[in-house]
Chains A and B, each alone.
Chain A
Amino acid sequence: MADLLIRDLVKRFGGFTAVDGVDISVGDGEFVFLLGPSGCGKTTTLRMIAGLEMPTGGRIEIGGRNVTYLRPRYRNVGMVFQDYGLYAHMTVFGNIAYPLKVRRMSRDVIAQKVRAVAQTMRIVDVLDRMPDQLAAGQLQRVAIARMLVRDADIFLMDEPMSHLDAQLRGHMRAELRHIQKEIGTTTIFVTHDQLEAMTMADRIIVMNDGKMLQFATPLEIFERPADEFVATFVGEPQMNVMNATLRRGEGGLVADVGAFVVPLDADWTRANALGDQEGKEVRLGIRPEHIRLAAVADALRPVEVELYSFEPTGPENIFVLRTGDVELTTRNPTAETVALARDEGSPMAIGFDPRWIYLFDAQTGRTIAQAAASVSEEELAA
């Protein structure tokens, strides 16, 4: 068990920069997720921590020990590969025992350790089988068992659940989170699935194009995204983001979206010093659950829109709406929206909750103003 420190990590393949300045400090026992779209450099970062890829620049420390350019076997990390990396010519037992055999442990100790971990992962009854006789879910468990069996300082997992079907994945999420907390070994988990990261992580590193965009708790990532990319990458359905111009309207500053005008909260504009930014082009963001929806317009829902498509998910109803060139998605509890029209083209009315409006820089995408109702970690801690 150990903490992990990464300073300014860079990896180039020829002229292509796959990882560009990753800078993190992970505490002992933390469950940290590397989240980002496919090809953003998550696997490369993980392989550099494991020693399978040598960094172009930067520094990696495990438990205070500089391991930047050490070979994998001197790092004492355990790893689960995206395609499991199990040995096809060995039984499940042989696979799990392999890292222990390499360490020349005695037969009895190996047997006992393998049994114990097989019990944890509930694969005792397949220990004598060959990997090609197992189902995906079992293979997954074997791969994780092989990682757990060692007393590694750090566990690394590269999209270990991407081959599982949705139901199994749900089970594994809870189970993995539980095991991680029980064993208490610092774990870095790579995924492109935001739901996986949001539900399991202590903290999440969001990456895109090799750059680290934000490193924070799931709640902070969700409520106070560092930029537009993070804001739209987490949350399902995505946050609605549209072009807007700040201008002075009746009753204070408003965001003009073109098809309609969004009034902004006066305290909030003052707190974020938006008053002197009149005429500025911005991107306005609001999550689907923060749009109020009704059949006819009223004071709280002044914008008239047209229903484009209706997607019931059971507990919630998702409405995709259009007005002018703006498309919006809303998400509301079924109970509240059961009476609304469901036919394409039906007229509806919406209003934005002013406490949950985000503003992003139109050029850089950086967040200019976090939603008024969002709470930062520091505020929570205080």
Chain B
Amino acid sequence: MTKSHTLMVSPDAPPVQRNWWAYVIILIICVFNFLPYLYVVMTGFMDATTSNRPEPQWFFTPTLEAFRFLLFDKNLMHNFRNSLVVSLSATFLSVTLGMFCAYAIARFDFGGRDDVSFWVLTNRMMPPVAVLIPIFVTFQTLRLLDTLTGLIILYTAMQLPFVVWMLTGYFRDIPRRYEESAMVDGDTWFQAFRKVTLPLMMPSITATAIFVMILSWNEYVFALFLTSTGARTMPPAIVAYSIGANISWNVLGAAVVLITAPLILFVLIVQRQLISGLSQGTLRK
């Protein structure tokens, strides 16, 4: 064994990397992942009869019938607006509050700090369904049922632990030196935080915000139980419109397009930020 190793001689040229097979595997996975989505999108452009045929339909005349039904008959724009307001507000609130919590946990040595950060984490362990009834009753008492405010408060609370947990790690990665340097240079603690730490944190904060945004945008269970018409967001609305006595596949397809298109657009626009934010800390030495 060792003998054969010592007998080996260097080849004349450096070895060429041959990893085309990795691309093939990735391509196969992508096709498998993407096909169902593609078919759902196609369904959205079919008419009701075509979409309800049991065998797959690859060729058909596209129609906007389902979109018309959702947007004009059912006024889905109303739900779209609700979703937008709720997820943007909840994202803004949870990221802003969570940022300060995370900063405190990362930077200050206060009594019970470890307990606090553990408690924050355990909040995520509980299955949401377990608190559905208590929250419903609470909302009823506080007259928050079917209000945007109620959903915003709830989503903010739900996302906070995640935000705090993510950002604490990122804050720890930023050396304290930066703030100390700024404070010696004449800044207050808050100025140092705003002008030095925050700009360095921006990619991480953006990435976290995108995650929170997606989670809030797609939230279904609480939205279903806590809203009826006024504050109903997209996910429960779409299910209600497309799944009745029997499933209208074309409506469901159109709904999927309407609910995911904004997200996909959004992520495409900010994906640079997202990737650099998520890999931050590991890339830096």
- Pairwise interchain contact A52-B185, C-beta atoms closer than 8 A: no
- Pairwise interchain contact B181-A85, C-beta atoms closer than 8 A: yes
Residues facing A in B224-270 (CB within 8 A) are: none
Minimum CB–CB distance from A81 to chain B (whole Å) comes to: 5
- Pairwise interchain contact A83-B185, C-beta atoms closer than 8 A: no
- Pairwise interchain contact A102-B191, C-beta atoms closer than 8 A: yes
- Pairwise interchain contact B177-A83, C-beta atoms closer than 8 A: yes
Q: Does B135 contact A (CB under 8 A)?
A: no
- Pairwise interchain contact A81-B186, C-beta atoms closer than 8 A: no
Residues of A within 8 A of B199 (CB): 89
Q: Which of B184, B186, B191, B200 has the most CB of A within 10 A?
A: B184
Partner of A77, one of B182, B184, B196, B200: B184
- Pairwise interchain contact B180-A102, C-beta atoms closer than 8 A: no
- Pairwise interchain contact A99-B185, C-beta atoms closer than 8 A: yes
Chain A window 78-101, contacts with chain B (Cβ cutoff 8 Å), 1 for yes, 0 for no? 110101111111000000001100
Residues of B within 8 A of A51 (CB): 183-184
- On whether A103 and B186 interact (CB within 8 A), knowing A87-B196, A89-B200, the answer reads yes
Can you name the residue of chain A whose Cβ is closest to the Cβ of B177?
A: A85
Q: What is the total number of residues of chain A having a CB less than 8 Å from a CB of chain B?
A: 24
- Pairwise interchain contact B177-A99, C-beta atoms closer than 8 A: no
- On whether A102 and B186 interact (CB within 8 A), knowing A85-B177, A85-B178, A89-B200, the answer reads yes
Other contacts beyond A52-B184, A87-B200: 19, CB < 8 A: A50-B180, A51-B183, A51-B184, A71-B183, A72-B184, A73-B185, A73-B188, A79-B184, A81-B177, A81-B181, A85-B175, A85-B178, A87-B182, A89-B200, A98-B185, A99-B185, A102-B182, A102-B187, A102-B191
Q: What is the total number of residues of chain B having a CB less than 8 Å from a CB of chain A?
A: 16
- Pairwise interchain contact A102-B178, C-beta atoms closer than 8 A: no
A-B CB contact pairs (8 Å), 19 listed: A51-B183, A52-B184, A71-B188, A73-B183, A73-B185, A73-B187, A73-B188, A75-B184, A77-B184, A78-B184, A79-B181, A81-B180, A85-B178, A85-B180, A85-B181, A99-B185, A102-B185, A102-B191, A150-B185
Minimum CB–CB distance from A141 to chain B (whole Å) comes to: 16
For the complex, what is the distance from the CA of A87 to the CA of B197, rounded to whole Å?
9
Chain B residues within 8 Å of A, Cβ to Cβ: 175, 177-178, 180-188, 191, 196, 199-200
For the complex, what is the distance from the CA of A87 to the CA of B199, rounded to whole Å?
10
Minimum CB–CB distance from B20 to chain A (whole Å) comes to: 34
Residues of B within 8 A of A102 (CB): 182, 185-187, 191
Residues of B within 8 A of A98 (CB): 182, 185
For the complex, what is the distance from the CA of A73 to the CA of B183, rounded to whole Å?
6
Can you name the residue of chain A whose Cβ is closest to the Cβ of B181?
A: A85
For the complex, what is the distance from the CA of A290 to the CA of B180, rounded to whole Å?
47
Minimum CB–CB distance from B180 to chain A (whole Å) comes to: 5
- On whether A52 and B191 interact (CB within 8 A), knowing A83-B175, A99-B185, A150-B185, the answer reads no
Residues of A within 8 A of B177 (CB): 81, 83-85
For the complex, what is the distance from the CA of A86 to the CA of B175, rounded to whole Å?
11
What's the dominant secondary structure at chain B's contact region? helix
Can you name the residue of chain A whose Cβ is closest to the Cβ of B199?
A: A89
Partner of B200, one of A83, A88, A150: A88
Minimum CB–CB distance from A193 to chain B (whole Å) comes to: 21
Minimum CB–CB distance from A352 to chain B (whole Å) comes to: 49
For the complex, what is the distance from the CA of A290 to the CA of B92, rounded to whole Å?
73
For the complex, what is the distance from the CA of A103 to the CA of B200, rounded to whole Å?
22
Residues facing B in A46-67 (CB within 8 A) are: 50-52
Can you name the residue of chain A whose Cβ is closest to the Cβ of B198?
A: A89
For the complex, what is the distance from the CA of A78 to the CA of B183, rounded to whole Å?
10
- Pairwise interchain contact B186-A73, C-beta atoms closer than 8 A: yes
Minimum CB–CB distance from B174 to chain A (whole Å) comes to: 9
Residues of A within 8 A of B180 (CB): 50, 52, 72, 81, 85
Can you name the residue of chain B whose Cβ is closest to the Cβ of A52?
A: B180
For the complex, what is the distance from the CA of A146 to the CA of B177, rounded to whole Å?
14
For the complex, what is the distance from the CA of A150 to the CA of B185, rounded to whole Å?
9
Minimum CB–CB distance from B283 to chain A (whole Å) comes to: 12
For the complex, what is the distance from the CA of A88 to the CA of B175, rounded to whole Å?
11
For the complex, what is the distance from the CA of A72 to the CA of B192, rounded to whole Å?
12
For the complex, what is the distance from the CA of A150 to the CA of B180, rounded to whole Å?
16
For the complex, what is the distance from the CA of A78 to the CA of B199, rounded to whole Å?
23
For the complex, what is the distance from the CA of A85 to the CA of B197, rounded to whole Å?
12
For the complex, what is the distance from the CA of A85 to the CA of B177, rounded to whole Å?
5
For the complex, what is the distance from the CA of A77 to the CA of B184, rounded to whole Å?
7
For the complex, what is the distance from the CA of A83 to the CA of B186, rounded to whole Å?
19
For the complex, what is the distance from the CA of A83 to the CA of B285, rounded to whole Å?
13
For the complex, what is the distance from the CA of A76 to the CA of B175, rounded to whole Å?
23
For the complex, what is the distance from the CA of A185 to the CA of B184, rounded to whole Å?
17
Q: Which of A51, A75, A85, A146 has the most CB of B within 10 A?
A: A85
Chain A window 138-157, contacts with chain B (Cβ cutoff 8 Å), 1 for yes, 0 for no? 00000000100010000000
Residues of A within 8 A of B191 (CB): 102
Minimum CB–CB distance from B26 to chain A (whole Å) comes to: 32
Residues of A within 8 A of B182 (CB): 87, 98, 102
